[in-house]
Amino acid sequence: MSAMWQGCLADTDYFELRSGGGHDYGVWVTTPPGYDPATTQVPAVYVLDGNWAVGMTAPLIVTQRDPMHPIRPYLQVSVGYAGEEAEHWARLRNRDLVPPGEPIAQELVDAVEFGIQAGSMTREQADAYLAELRDTRADAFLSFLTTELHPRIERDYGTATTGHGLFGYSYGGLFALYAWLAGGTLFESIGAGSPGIAGADSRIFARLRELGEGRPATRLHVTFNDQELLGDLAIYQNLTKNTATFLHRLAPRDGTVTSAVLRDTHVTGLPASFLSYLRTCRSE
């Protein structure tokens, strides 16, 4: 990284990787201070929405040296979009983070229309945003993370063989639930912040039914924000209600699934949610 960015994101490398599906991704790798894989190997924590999230989450790697609440060492891999696509991350994430066949909730369409009326997006931008929701491929993106990106991180950064984590927020949180339900073996823990379960007919509930009485062994920590539930935006109210329903359907739990209600809004809740995941799932 340039000297300027190195000063903002200490111990962070950046590279770009084209997936087997032909999509370009930007990857920020933040290592613990003084990290030397020759002497100590640490697991990776993958953080989604890197273009937005890296600046708010990567600095929290200092929690590994917090004398009051230390976090087990990890290196952070923030995954976003590269090149000209980087400016369109907010809509491209729909393609990658939303499960295949996920219905488009009317409350989401209404929220997009509100954005047009408020001047935060144009009609063209809104149409492009919704278009990405008509052919969603969380399955392909999960495969990219586990079979293409992780082997490179493992090779280039000498990570540990176990203990890896995944964190996502909003649609990233929806993806985190999708990855948890997929039952893979790469991630030891998964954090899902304010999962984007926009409708009661979400594919997440269908996948949960398909599991029957079985539950993945991977630890799951779910958060949402009180201001989402108590505010007057229907889309955020739905996210929290549907997330609560998801958690209720997991009961009784054996301690592998935990949850917390945070005092934030949907927009400001990402760093608090990530910190809650670290403290709950990765404490020493």
Poorest-pLDDT segment among 16-25, 51-60, 205-214: 205-214
| Angstrom distance (rounded) from CA 59 to CA 5 | 13
Domain ranges in the chain are: 3-281
Poorest-pLDDT segment among 33-42, 187-196, 231-240, 242-251: 33-42
What is the DSSP-derived secondary structure letter of residue 32?
Answer: P
Q: What's the pLDDT at 4?
A: 47
Q: What's the pLDDT at 6?
A: 56
| Angstrom distance (rounded) from CA 196 to CA 193 | 9
The correct CATH number of 3-281 out of 3.40.50.1820, 3.40.50.1360, 3.20.20.70, 3.40.50.460 is 3.40.50.1820
Q: What percent of the chain has pLDDT above 90?
A: 88
Output the average pLDDT for the chain.
Answer: 94
Q: What percent of the chain has pLDDT above 70?
A: 98
Q: 2 versus 273: which is more confidently predicted?
A: 273
Rounded alpha-carbon distances, angstroms, from residue 283 to 41, 47, 66, 86, 269: 17, 18, 11, 33, 20
For 116, counting Cβ atoms within 10 Å of its Cβ (0-12 exposed, 13-18 middle, 19+ buried), the class is middle
Please report how the helices 89-97 and 123-131 are oriented relative to each other, as an axis angle in degrees rounded to 10. 20
Q: pTM of the entire structure?
A: 0.96
Q: What's the pLDDT at 14?
A: 95
- Taking only the tens place, the pLDDT of each residue in 228-240 is 999 999 999 999 9
- Taking only the tens place, the pLDDT of each residue in 60-72 is 999 999 999 999 9
